[in-house]
Amino acid sequence: MLEIQGLTVTYGPVEAVSGLSFHVACGTVATLIGPNGAGKTTTLNALSGVVRPSRGKILFDGRDITRMSAHRRVSAGIVQVPEGRQVLAGMSVRENLELGGYRRPRCEVLRDMERMEERFPILRDRRYAPAGSLSGGEQQMLAIARGLMAKPKVLLLDEPSLGLAPKLVTAIFNIVRELRDEGQTILLVEQNARQALVISSYGYVMESGSLVLEGPADELRSDQKLAQTYLGQTI
Ligand code: ATP
């Protein structure tokens, strides 16, 4: 579904991503893990078109989209759920959902809003509440639902469990698992490596803008070097 070849992204003198190559297979979850500042968010931003790479190629379903604008990528099916939720705090839950589908026919958007409310009952209960009044976990559900409203072919999920209590972390991972079981292609960025690898088929480990390790998720989960060197935790 996604094929990234030699991606390099710079911010002035800082090379945040350096010649990165990886792929995300159709209907699978791939996880990008690594320490803070490794370049994970920058990679997702380059895939969604929010930042421009200075070198490299992005192929989406075989098509070169490296120069395609961000809004066209949304229409093509590449949808990002950004780190920190970034819901529109002063707008209602429904308005946030509606915005997620802004490039789609209104009749489909209305139908899919109902579906989102079935999937996430809390969003139905709070449909007229300002999004900013929701808890962190509820806002994350809204951010994912808003992303799904765009009918993604590939969903770029940036740190969905960040800052959430353990029970909510589990709820968010269960949602990602459900989406995977429905055949949704997902590229997941997570600090919570163990749980992310449990629901992924393949994992990539980044450090200082480059890949340092990759492999099937179950192999990475039992990799002691990964646990000790790259994540500073037992996975
Ligand atoms: P985190 O887990 O902390 O979000 P990350 O792996 O997602 O980290 P990035 O946010 O992509 O890493 O950052 C990669 C590098 O690029 C870091 O050195 C960061 O300081 C730098 N960087 C990120 N965004 C910008 C920016 N807008 N301007 C300048 N430098 C940036």
179: CATH: 3.40.50.300
Q: What pLDDT, on the 0 to 100 scale, is given for residue 194?
A: 87
In whole angstroms, give the CA distance from residue 89 to residue 66.
32
**Residue 130 pLDDT greater than 90, yes or no:** yes
Q: What is the distance in A from the centroid of ligand 1 to the CA of 18?
A: 13
Residue with the nearest Cα to atom 1 of ligand 1? Answer: 36
Question: What is the domain extent for residue 124?
Answer: 2-231
Q: What pLDDT, on the 0 to 100 scale, is given for residue 79?
A: 97
Q: 10, 42, 44: which to mutate for ligand 1, most atoms within 8 A of CB?
A: 42
pLDDT per position as a tens digit, 5-26: 999 999 999 999 999 999 999 9
Q: Which of 30-34, 103-107, 185-189 has the lowest mean pLDDT?
A: 103-107
Q: Which of 44, 65, 26, 55 is nearest to 204 (CA)?
A: 44
Query: Taking CB atoms and a 6 Å cutoff, what residues make up the pocket around ligand 1?
Result: 11, 14, 16, 34, 36-42
Q: What is the distance in A from the centroid of ligand 1 to the CA of 37?
A: 5
Question: Average pLDDT of 87-110?
Answer: 94
Residue with the nearest Cα to atom 17 of ligand 1? Answer: 37
- Please tell me the pTM assigned to this model: 0.94
In whole angstroms, give the CA distance from residue 192 to residue 233.
10
In whole angstroms, give the CA distance from residue 67 to residue 136.
34
In whole angstroms, give the CA distance from residue 48 to residue 65.
10
Q: Which span out of 5-14, 192-201, 226-235 was modeled with the highest average pLDDT?
A: 5-14
pLDDT band of 233, cuts 50, 70, 90: low
Amino acid at 175: I
32 half-sphere exposure, CB direction, 13 A CA radius: 29
- The number of folded domains in the chain is 1
pLDDT per position as a tens digit, 34-84: 989 999 999 999 999 999 999 999 999 999 999 999 999 999 999 999 998
